[in-house]
Structure 1
Amino acid sequence: MEWILKNKEWLFSGIAIAIPLAIISWLISSRRNKQIQKSGDNSTNIQIGGNFKIGGNKDDK
């Protein structure tokens, strides 16, 4: 308890910065991660969140 009283300014200034930054990063990431997939009846769909490469050279590993 004594440590908190001695360091209250440092402790709460860190919290005051961390909370808004966490909220901002959550808002930015929630906007970017929206994927929409449309399909027809009796179709198989695969959705990938990154790059996907089919085929290529024999030398590619």
Structure 2
Amino acid sequence: MAFHVAPAAKCKAIGEIRNESVVNMHFGHADTADGLPGFLHRLDRRGLRAVTTRELLS
């Protein structure tokens, strides 16, 4: 599934994410939900993973 965000925005966002980065995604938008699998896949390829807020703060 494609990451459905403006091309410049997605490249900038993915390129700037580092270990311990916080990414706020707004799930009220269909494009965000549709693009989530691709976004997570790209993070995984970089050795990163998403965590819940609870995991982040523990």
Q: TM-score, normalised by structure 1?
A: 0.27
TM-score, length of structure 2 as denominator length: 0.28
Structure with the higher helix share, 1 or 2: 2
